[in-house]
Each structure stands twice: as C-alpha cells, then as structure tokens.
Amino acid sequence: MKRSKFLKELEEARKRNHEDNLRFIDFYTAYLKSASNEEWSRKQKTLIDTIYAPILKRAKQMREGKKNIAYI
C-alpha cells in the first residue's frame, strides 16, 4: 500500500515538473521574441561570465603557482 502511494506521488511530481518546464519554455520563448539582440547578448554574456569567473580565478591562481587554492 505504501509503495503504490509513493509511486503515485512520484508520478504526480513528475507531471508537475514537466508542466513547469513547458511553462518556462513558453515564458522564455516570449522573452526571446520581445528582446533585442543586444539585450539578449548582454544577458548571455553576464550569465557566462558569472559561471566561468570562479574557474578562471582558480586557473590564474594555479598559473601563478599559489598554494592553498580554494576549490569551487
């Protein structure tokens, strides 16, 4: 009995997640259609820079031969 309840809840969560993903796709598609190329490019650059900043900082520290480098 407990197993079937768990599986039912898991299936409901999967469906909610799928619906959330579809809503996000609709939202992002609307944004892409309304945003200028310059705005989109600027936001993409900010996102990419944010992701790579810690990696680039660590690489620089390694090139400089620093000890006790903090891991990401």
In this predicted model, what pLDDT tens digit does every residue of 39-69 receive, in sequence order?
999 999 999 999 999 888 888 888 888 766 6
In this predicted model, what pLDDT tens digit does every residue of 4-46 receive, in sequence order?
989 999 999 999 999 999 999 999 999 999 999 999 999 999 9
User: Residue 66: its pLDDT value, please?
Assistant: 72
DSSP state of 66: -
Nearest to 71 by CA among 55, 60, 48: 55
Q: Which 3 state secondary structure label does DSSP give 50?
A: helix
User: Residue 68: its pLDDT value, please?
Assistant: 66
User: Residue 70: its pLDDT value, please?
Assistant: 62
Distance CA 49, CA 19 (A): 30
Is residue 72 scored above 60 in pLDDT? Answer: no
